Amino acid sequence: MKEKIQSVKAPAEISAYSNAIRCGNRIFVSGQLPVDPATGQMGNTIQEQTRQVIENIRNILADAGATLDNVVKTTVLLQEMYLFSEMNAVYAEAFSEPYPARTSMAVKELPQSALVALDVEAVLD
């Protein structure tokens, strides 16, 4: 059985999707944009945006009873691949070893002209 997870500390959905779904001991967090839920604004740099997107994910996971340590897989979407190393430095501060499996790619465009978007899959112990 699936359960919708919506954190008031993360941006509300802007389309026909759920911020996260919990199914058994697995949590699937939809791609999150680096939008500050309090202001509706995004930072200007890849570092600011990566920190915000991870914070949004952290808040969604908390509402599902999980932490970033429960994350087993991530997908990182970047506006341009040259942003990878700066994104990765912030990412490495948030996640710990063993790091989640990850797919990273550049896409033609992200919603709201974001520089980064991130989705995760987590497993509760």
Task: From first to last of the 125 residues of the chain, give the pLDDT tens digit.
Answer: 899 998 888 887 777 888 999 999 999 999 999 999 999 999 999 999 999 999 999 999 999 999 999 999 999 999 999 999 999 999 999 999 999 999 999 999 999 999 999 999 999 98
State the helix-helix crossing angle for 46-63 and 84-94, rounded to 10 degrees. Answer: 40
* Residue 119 to residue 28: CA distance in whole angstroms: 8
Burial class (CB in 10 A: 0-12, 13-18, 19+), 101: exposed
User: Which residue, chain included where needed, has tokens 């040259």?
Assistant: 82
Which domains are present in the chain? 2-123 (3.30.1330.40)
Strand bridging mode 101-106 / 116-123: unpaired
pTM of the predicted model over 0.85:
yes
Q: Single out the residue of 90, 7, 1 nearest to residue 50, CA to CA.
A: 90
